[in-house]
Amino acid sequence: MSDKTMEKIVALCKRRGFIFQSSEIYGGIGGFWDYGPLGVEMKRNIKDAWWYDMVTGNDDTLPPAGAPSSYSMVGLDASIIMHPQVWKASGHYDLFHDLFVDCKTCKQRFRLDQIADSQCPRKPSKHPGEHSECDLTEPREFNLMFKTYVGALHDPSAEAYLRPETAQGIFVNFKNVMSTTRVKLPFGIAQIGKSFRNEITPRNYTFRSREFEQMEIEFFCSPKESQRWYEYWRDRRFSWYTSLGLASDKLRLRDHSPEERAHYSCGTADIEYAFPFLAQGEYGELEGVSHRGDFDLRSHMEGKLVRDGDGFAVELDEHGQPRYAGSGKDLSYFDEETKKKYIPHVIEPSAGADRAMLAFLCEAYTEDAIPDDKGVPQPRVVLKLHPRLAPVKVAVFPLIKKDGMPDVAAEIYRELKKKWNVYYDQKGSIGRRYRRQDESGTPYCITVDHQTLEDGTVTLRDRDTTVQERVKSIDLTTIIAERLAV
Ligand code: ATP
């Protein structure tokens, strides 16, 4: 068995229509990607699995395993462009930047924290970090938010930003959700949507893109309980990835050291995956789970906060006024049981849909060999995706395009399509049709052959084992439902 390399995974994604370079016919644009016919189905399945497992499938009356109590989950879909004051109060306007340096030799720009891993193309060397011997400019700050203008005027009063995270849309709607639903603390608001970051060096395929999708939860709870909820969400989110097929020995939960944590965080853990594009022993972030205290709701009440001793205080300008004012609205919570009012604490599990998809693709990519008609092993590529994530669940083939087989196969296809995304294919040799579905990650293939016309049975082929069995076509819906369990 040969190695799984990024080159092979990228080639498969292109060949089968999972992921294309954006604007490819014009030479592409760095940091932007398009999801093709199979890719869009798979990404939708990831988002649907997340939404179901976190939101609609949540039982509001029973505590899930490991949870301190039962809780409610509701959804939201906030706008991408928001009032610019949102980003000033949240701190993004001032602080959401990376430091970059320019290499005067190769004229390229690099993130300061990545320069040690980069090679100067004009001064190649076998040793990582050689770039720093080059003639580099002093580090400069670069805000990652994409700026745009709202309306016809292109002056500072019309400036707005594409959101760099979906989270702020949740915080600014906290009161709306509280007053329009019957939720009580503890509860979470979930959102899936596009985010934009003008990354200095987008790289590693879709891992670091400039436009990507996030799946975020802001979980509101009482300050007394927040540490327990933080631990619950950290573990719950880790096991979500393993439940969908990521091998636990390639995943790791890494607690941030106090120095590494963002200034507002009382605890952060990253869920990381050993992507094949990383060196042995290195991991890339899939999701961050943060205990954010009351930082966010307080910022949107009072204004941009800065460190003040052990706590935070509103940052003031030279006139003693908040440098960036908050909304002035009361975003606190009145606990009817204890008759106490407080600003809820927030636990934030923040995942990237594109990074999750890349990890699931990397994990699923497998090369093995299966015997041909004469028993000679033939190499194949197969995507061993979890059935919930597979873009197509079943493919239906007539063995040949005559003797009424296409009609019987089309009938089966139509019946199964009522429940799942099913693919029909009557072109080419049966072996090639199987291989195509193996590469697409389709868990089951059904073939209508001569025997079907005699006794109503078909062959059902399993993607991973390639074992074929004969089953009655009238039983297909039940058998497939049991095996897919989706
Ligand atoms: P990194 O350190 O890799 O830049 P981050 O810590 O800035 O990531 P967060 O702000 O915590 O990321 O965002 C939450 C999640 O959003 C990340 O765990 C990741 O899955 C996703 N994400 C963030 N930036 C990108 C990006 N440029 N491309 C794709 N996904 C991203």
Asked if residue 301 and residue 180 are part of one domain, the reply reads yes
Q: What is the best residue among 251, 350, 358, 360 to mutate for testing ligand 1's pocket, by most ligand atoms within 8 Å of CB?
A: 350
The H-assigned helical ranges of 390-470 are 405-417, 430-440, 450-455
Task: Tell whether 226 is covered by a domain.
Answer: yes
Residue span of the structural domain in which 470 resides: 392-484
| pLDDT bracket for residue 129 (50, 70, 90) | low
Asked if residue 398 and residue 352 are part of one domain, the reply reads no
Q: Is the pLDDT of residue 123 over 80?
A: no
Task: Tell whether 377 is covered by a domain.
Answer: no
Asked if residue 338 and residue 472 are part of one domain, the reply reads no
- At 65-95, the pLDDT tens digits run 999 999 999 999 999 999 999 999 999 999 9
Residue at a domain's end among 336, 359, 382:
359
Residue 126's pLDDT is 64
Nearest to 286 by CA among 212, 367, 337, 338: 212
Q: Is 409 in the pocket of ligand 1 (CB under 6 A)?
A: no
Asked if residue 328 and residue 461 are part of one domain, the reply reads no
Asked if residue 408 and residue 309 are part of one domain, the reply reads no
Residue 107's pLDDT is 83
Determine if the peptide bond prior to 186 is cis (ω within 30°). Answer: yes
Residue at a domain's end among 310, 343, 359:
359
- The answer to whether 211 and 352 are in contact (CB under 8 A) is no
Q: Is 350 in the pocket of ligand 1 (CB under 6 A)?
A: yes
The stretch 408-414 carries a mean pLDDT of 98
Q: Is 209 in the pocket of ligand 1 (CB under 6 A)?
A: yes
Residue 189's pLDDT is 98
Q: Is 163 in the pocket of ligand 1 (CB under 6 A)?
A: no
Task: CATH number of the domain at 411, please.
Answer: 3.40.50.800
The stretch 421-446 carries a mean pLDDT of 97
pTM attached to this predicted model: 0.94
Q: Is 294 in the pocket of ligand 1 (CB under 6 A)?
A: no
Say how many domains are in the chain. Answer: 2
Q: How far is the centre of ligand 1, averaged over its atoms, from the C-alpha of 366 (Å)?
A: 27
Asked if residue 315 and residue 266 are part of one domain, the reply reads yes
Asked if residue 401 and residue 339 are part of one domain, the reply reads no
- What mean pLDDT is reported for the chain? 94
Task: CATH number of the domain at 195, please.
Answer: 3.30.930.10
Task: Tell whether 278 is covered by a domain.
Answer: yes
- Count of residues making up the chain: 486
Q: Whose CA is nearest to atom 12 of ligand 1?
A: 288
Q: How far is the centre of ligand 1, averaged over its atoms, from the C-alpha of 475 (Å)?
A: 45
Residue at a domain's end among 335, 359, 383:
359
Q: How far is the centre of ligand 1, averaged over its atoms, from the C-alpha of 202 (Å)?
A: 12
| pLDDT bracket for residue 2 (50, 70, 90) | low
Atom of ligand 1 at shortest range from CA of 212: 29
Measure the CA–CA gap between 440 and 434, rounded to whole angstroms. Answer: 10
Task: Tell whether 13 is covered by a domain.
Answer: no
Q: Is 237 in the pocket of ligand 1 (CB under 6 A)?
A: no
Asked if residue 480 and residue 432 are part of one domain, the reply reads yes
Asked if residue 460 and residue 404 are part of one domain, the reply reads yes
Q: How far is the centre of ligand 1, averaged over its atoms, from the C-alpha of 162 (Å)?
A: 15
The stretch 53-75 carries a mean pLDDT of 97
Task: Tell whether 150 is covered by a domain.
Answer: no
Atom of ligand 1 at shortest range from CA of 285: 18
Residue 125's pLDDT is 67
Nearest to 382 by CA among 307, 300, 465, 304: 465
Q: Is 348 in the pocket of ligand 1 (CB under 6 A)?
A: no
Positive or negative CA dihedral for 30, 32, 37, 43? positive
Q: Is the pLDDT of residue 127 over 70?
A: no
Task: Tell whether 372 is covered by a domain.
Answer: no
Q: Is 111 in the pocket of ligand 1 (CB under 6 A)?
A: no
The stretch 287-312 carries a mean pLDDT of 95
- At 329-367, the pLDDT tens digits run 999 999 999 999 999 999 999 999 999 999 999 999 999
Task: Tell whether 369 is covered by a domain.
Answer: no
Asked if residue 331 and residue 415 are part of one domain, the reply reads no
Residue 122's pLDDT is 76
Q: Is 287 in the pocket of ligand 1 (CB under 6 A)?
A: yes
- At 449-476, the pLDDT tens digits run 999 999 999 999 999 999 999 999 999 9
The stretch 18-31 carries a mean pLDDT of 98
Asked if residue 264 and residue 194 are part of one domain, the reply reads yes
Q: Is 55 in the pocket of ligand 1 (CB under 6 A)?
A: no
Question: Out of 61-65, 152-156, 371-375, which region has the weakest mean confidence (pLDDT)?
Answer: 371-375
Nearest to 98 by CA among 60, 155, 145, 136: 145
Asked if residue 467 and residue 333 are part of one domain, the reply reads no
Task: Tell whether 219 is covered by a domain.
Answer: yes
Q: Is the pLDDT of residue 1 over 50?
A: no
